[in-house]
């Protein structure tokens, strides 16, 4: 059954919205539960399709999972039987690649399926292979699987990552945590989901220094068997969705529980474009580690920046926040250059907004010019086969005058929880419809 959104756009929105917990942190912690022979309790787990796929994966390999609202209690009473993995669920999420490092301390030989997820061109797995081979992990790639041998593993005095990627860093962390001794990781990602994983591993007894920097030192503990609880922190990418929505619809919205450390540069760029906002409150997440704020977005007249907008590893503009500058730039007077250098094909999907009346010109697979401002009109479209491009189409439809239909919204449901209900509370006219 396919689902679609029916939208009557062009409405001013108002009210408050709370940022939910992070998809990318949640999947990293679900993968990390496999390294623990004790009971793992994850609190504030997002209720999204990506998490559902991970629950299916873990249950298929032997996890006992008890759900209590937004909390999951995970244990492996009979160990992990990776050969029974749910192939269909695994192939729907690229983050299943985290099992390469996670299982290295549990078994000497195993295979996991080739991963799927968003269709964003060629996304090389070589950085993962190069990172893990330092520990003595041998990985052979076939058309359908990764075949792994993990014997006689050793801590490593210095690993330089082939790229400063989030999941690459997480894979190295998961392996290092299970090897007694000190491992140093250079060019590590310091992004939000990596920090959440570090905080969780510390609860398991792993000592980590350098959290929030590109240099991590991990003192692994070998076998891990501990009952732990951890509360997942809030999602800066969801916060950026609502920031972009407020700008695109020229609405006053209060975005609560926004993780400010991972939004500072995005907000500065917006300020220089003429966007007005107020930081109303500062406090910590319930994990007592992540700094949160409430942001009041104020309707403003925007002008295009002279400089290009591009992503960089943290503390730069987040790779997944970059697409949200497209509907923002559509409201700004002038021409904005947006450079999505990481993914080969994602910028191509930005031109889908032209069907709503945007003026987005594709320069090459990585760069677009966005001309603004625009008078957007409703249209009927299919979701692009990737999460963030689908989300910005939804933002633009909510800003566009008249009726829009967005078909096949599974990719949005992968990353956003009960989104239509939460949008309706802000005054949006949106329905989720099931169709055969």
Q: Are 86 and 165 in the same domain?
A: yes
Q: Please give the average per-residue pLDDT across 83-95, as a whole number.
A: 93
* Interval 325-358: pLDDT, tens: 999 999 999 999 999 998 888 999 999 999 999 9
Local confidence band at 1 (pLDDT 50, 70, 90 cut-offs) = confident
Percentage of the chain modeled with pLDDT above 70: 98
Find the domain containing 88 and state its range: 23-231
Indicate the average pLDDT of the chain. 95
**Of 214, 231, 248, which one is at a domain's C-terminal end?**
231
Local confidence band at 119 (pLDDT 50, 70, 90 cut-offs) = very low
Q: Are 275 and 362 in the same domain?
A: yes
Q: Are 92 and 205 in the same domain?
A: yes
Q: Are 270 and 368 in the same domain?
A: yes
Q: Are 10 and 31 in the same domain?
A: no
* Interval 132-149: pLDDT, tens: 999 999 999 888 889 999
- SS3 labels along the chain: CEEEEEEEECCCCEEEEECCECHHHHHHHHHHHHHECCCEEEECCCCCHHHHHHHHHHHHCCCEEEEECCEEEEECCCCCCHHHCCHHHHCCCHHHHHHHHHHHHCCCEEEEECCCCCCCCCCCCHHHHHHHHCCCEEEEECCCEEEEEECCCCCCCCEECCCCCHHHHHHHHHHHHCCCEEEEEECCCCCHHHHHHHHHHHHCCCEEECCCCCEEEEEECCCECCCEEEECCECHHHHHHHHHHHHHCCCEEEEEEEEHHHCHHHHHHHHHHCCEEEEEEEEECCCCCCEEEEEEEECCCEECCCCCEECCCCCCCCCCCHHHHHHHHCCEEEEEEEECCCCCCHHHHHHHHHHHCCEEEEEECCEEEEEECCCCECCEEECCCCHHHHHHHHHHHHHCEEEEEEECCHHHHHHCCCHHHHHHHCCCEEEEEEEC
Q: Are 295 and 162 in the same domain?
A: no
* Interval 382-392: pLDDT, tens: 999 999 999 99
CATH of residue 402: 3.65.10.10
**Of 231, 262, 296, which one is at a domain's C-terminal end?**
231
Local confidence band at 208 (pLDDT 50, 70, 90 cut-offs) = very high
**Of 231, 256, 277, which one is at a domain's C-terminal end?**
231
Percentage of the chain modeled with pLDDT above 90: 92
Q: Are 41 and 15 in the same domain?
A: no
Q: Are 202 and 83 in the same domain?
A: yes
Q: Are 270 and 171 in the same domain?
A: no
Count of the separate structural domains present in the chain: 2
Q: Please give the average per-residue pLDDT across 79-108, as a whole number.
A: 94
Q: Please give the average per-residue pLDDT across 107-132, as a whole number.
A: 77
Q: Are 296 and 421 in the same domain?
A: yes
Q: Are 221 and 286 in the same domain?
A: no
Q: Are 27 and 174 in the same domain?
A: yes
């Amino acid at each position: 059954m396919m689902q679609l959104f029916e939208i009557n756009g062009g409405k001013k929105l108002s009210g408050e919205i709370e940022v939910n917990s992070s998809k990318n942190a949640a999947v990293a912690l679900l993968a990390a539960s496999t390294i623990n022979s004790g009971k793992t309790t994850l609190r504030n787990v997002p209720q999204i399709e990506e998490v559902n796929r991970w629950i299916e994966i873990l249950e298929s390999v032997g996890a006992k999972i008890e759900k209590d609202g937004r909390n999951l209690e995970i244990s492996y009473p009979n160990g992990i039987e990776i050969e029974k993995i749910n192939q269909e669920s695994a192939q729907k999420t690229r983050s299943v690649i985290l099992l390469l490092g996670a299982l290295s301390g549990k078994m000497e030989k195993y295979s996991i399926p080739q991963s799927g997820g968003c269709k964003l061109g060629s996304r090389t797995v070589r950085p993962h292979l190069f990172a893990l081979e330092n520990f003595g992990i041998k990985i052979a790639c076939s058309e359908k699987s990764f075949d792994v041998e993990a014997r006689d593993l050793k801590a490593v005095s210095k690993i330089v990552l082939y790229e400063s990627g989030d999941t690459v860093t997480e894979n190295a962390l998961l392996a290092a945590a299970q090897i007694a001794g000190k491992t140093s990781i250079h060019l590590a990602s310091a992004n939000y989901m990596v920090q959440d994983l570090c905080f969780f591993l510390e609860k398991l007894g792993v000592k980590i220094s350098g959290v929030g920097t590109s240099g991590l030192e991990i003192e692994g503990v070998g076998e891990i068997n501990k009952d732990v609880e951890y509360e997942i922190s809030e999602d800066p990418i969801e916060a950026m969705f609502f920031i972009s929505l407020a700008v695109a619809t020229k609405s006053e919205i209060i975005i609560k529980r926004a993780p400010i450390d991972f939004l500072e540069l995005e907000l500065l760029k917006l300020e220089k474009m003429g966007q007005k906002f107020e930081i109303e409150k500062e406090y910590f997440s319930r994990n007592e580690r992540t700094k949160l704020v409430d942001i009041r977005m104020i309707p403003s007249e925007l002008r295009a920046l002279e400089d290009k907008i591009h992503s960089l590893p943290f503390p730069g503009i987040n790779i997944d926040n970059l697409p949200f500058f497209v509907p923002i730039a559509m409201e700004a007077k002038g021409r904005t250059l947006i450079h999505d250098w990481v993914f080969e094909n994602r910028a191509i999907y930005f031109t889908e907004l032209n069907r709503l009346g945007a003026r987005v010109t594709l320069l090459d697979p990585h760069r677009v010019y966005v001309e603004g401002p625009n008078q957007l009109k409703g249209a009927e479209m299919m979701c692009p086969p990737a999460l963030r491009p689908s989300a910005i189409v939804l933002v633009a439809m909510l800003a566009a005058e008249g009726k829009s239909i967005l078909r096949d919204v599974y990719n949005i449901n992968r990353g956003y929880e009960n989104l239509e209900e939460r949008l309706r509370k802000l005054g949006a006219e949106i329905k989720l419809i099931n169709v055969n």
